[in-house]
Structure 1
């Protein structure tokens, strides 16, 4: 039972997991813990992002009381026979306000009580083993599938613009505080001369939006911001039109834990699309990009030198003769299938005698509480 706790269903992450998981995997998706309590028989409870599970809607924030209630509910479910697995993407919440003692309490509590902890890279696994006595396993990482349909609407116009430029870097994803996109745009303008940077993603923070607009004002079109969410099924078109992906992550102040555990989805997606990566040299980033074209900057610094090095190499005649269109297809499908196989083995291990583990014999799987059947 995977707790999605996501504003939209399906989320990009879970839609791919659902699509590529083995049909015999007894997996279902559930929006919250409350809907699990009455389910029988008990099974495996798989948590992913925790922050919404202790967010108090009345106060509009994560609170100590909600955190205590979450940990108590998990303990109660375990006493009732549920096995607990946490798939760790990040140790702490990465959106919104700075992390607090409440976040530390939840992270520590779930790591202490989990039967198994899953993560995406060996670097993450090494760090997590120093924090928990649970069995820590690495499932690997994946990205997005190749688009099934041509680009549409505004995305098609943006792709057309990108293909009309000799050298384009792409920064795709939500404009959030942990990426510090305005600083990245400023560094790009300071350290490059002829390349173009396309920023594609929505911002919910007026201060970040205002600062980004200030940075790119008067830049002569070298930085273009498309301030809207790009549907996952359209993202591949933008990567196919870019010579490199810019993937900024802050590793200081409130985000020091990125040096311990980080699921850099922009990095894994770009790598699956075989797009060269420009990013900070964090352990998970280094591991995911190893063996491919990349320019990594010191984690504590800015991306300026890496951006300059990427421009110098990609502007060279021999690279200009190798257009992005010649890249191979995305390799995310086989990676998702491998993750699904690991989940299937985990289900057989944790529930060897339970009826829910017998779904391989033909029982229904991939159910969401709305009744929608996901095959």
Structure 2
């Protein structure tokens, strides 16, 4: 199949760009003919307060990548759509409702003869604005099928559209270490919070649990703060954690990731809500157990008591108990010994099958209201 994937790719950073790129590589390896339609300029700065691009790729860029899209040029959206007429499948990688106007422009240029799948990383944002649902409803009613990464997301998509919705587990697509870190068996009494810091990820809950938990355990927080850095510092001071929490604000390049995981006994994911995340797989690739709340797919990814601990979300007491349980004598070593890297080949095979066999025939259904 000739497949066009519309979404971010290098020099953009982060999970969305990695996923788009890895998806193209996997489709090519499966015998398809993919291209990526990416961006010269994806968002205005005020809509994405973090660092948008990086100078060095963190994986292998896909050679069939075109960068013709620009948020400032709606005429280019239509022209890009028109250029994709005749493809067997167009995949719109949907990370945020902010993309919807450009995707509607692409659909207008594409016309009704080409099947389109919306590949939704999040059907709606964790922190929503009034315009999010109307925008996503308009987009999802214009495509032929929707692919999501959890049953909860599928339920949400079905509230917005009558188009076919399919669920497929998101396979790993983030950089992994060239070799497994050497396990020296030492317990470092240090935990890691990794990734963009936003309210739904529950860093405040973790800080309160840290203050109530084992008093000799420290925490490293590494990632971009989308607001709230001053508030986080104030909370650290209020909780008396000044000497126990190390903040590393800003984007973490792939070359620095192995060192962060090597210095941690566990990765902590204290999310209030989640859809699909790569962080569990990243921790396991580095040989590190995970302490996570039971939201999104974490409860399926983390085997409680074997390679990590799962607890209730948005509950300081439950997370405090999880930290105490983790640091019981011998537990950090035992849980680390249970960590195994996951074979993602079968997961990718199932993912490609779900994407390419969605019932997308009859492209004229786009534009019809539910």
1:115 Cα deviation (Å)?
1.1
Higher RCO (Cα < 8 Å, 6 or more apart): 1
1:42 Cα deviation (Å)?
3.9
**Which residue does the alignment assign to 2:223?**
201
Change (3 A) 1:82 1:163: farther
**Which residue does the alignment assign to 2:294?**
281
Q: Which runs of 5+ in 2 are unaligned?
A: 39-68, 70-76, 363-370
Conservation of the 8 A alpha-carbon contact between 2:202 and 2:272: yes
**Which residue does the alignment assign to 1:39?**
84
**Which residue does the alignment assign to 1:249?**
271
Change (3 A) 1:113 1:298: same
Change (3 A) 1:165 1:294: closer
Return the alpha-carbon distance in structure 2 between the equivalents of residues 21 and 237 of structure 1.
Answer: 32
1:273 Cα deviation (Å)?
5.7
Conservation of the 8 A alpha-carbon contact between 1:273 and 1:330: no
**One of 298, 317, 326 as aligned partner of 1:305:** 317
1:213 Cα deviation (Å)?
2.0
**Which residue does the alignment assign to 1:86?**
118
**Which residue does the alignment assign to 1:3?**
6
**Which residue does the alignment assign to 2:54?**
none
Q: Say which SS state the counterpart of residue 28 (structure 1) adopts.
A: strand
**One of 223, 236, 249 as aligned partner of 1:227:** 249
**Which residue does the alignment assign to 2:171?**
142
Q: Say which SS state the counterpart of residue 317 (structure 1) adopts.
A: coil
Establish whether residue 16 from structure 1 lines up as the match of residue 22 from structure 2: yes
1:28 Cα deviation (Å)?
1.4
**One of 97, 115, 120 as aligned partner of 1:51:** 97
Task: Name whichever structure is richer in helix by fraction.
Answer: 1
Q: Say which SS state the counterpart of residue 113 (structure 1) adopts.
A: coil
Establish whether residue 29 from structure 1 lines up as the match of residue 36 from structure 2: yes
When normalised by structure 1's length, the TM-score is: 0.68
Change (3 A) 1:42 1:8: same
**Which residue does the alignment assign to 2:331?**
319
**One of 108, 130, 155 as aligned partner of 1:76:** 108
Q: Which runs of 5+ in 1 are unaligned?
A: 55-66, 152-158, 252-257, 353-375
**Which residue does the alignment assign to 2:211?**
189
1:172 Cα deviation (Å)?
0.5
Q: Say which SS state the counterpart of residue 140 (structure 2) adopts.
A: helix
Conservation of the 8 A alpha-carbon contact between 1:146 and 1:329: no
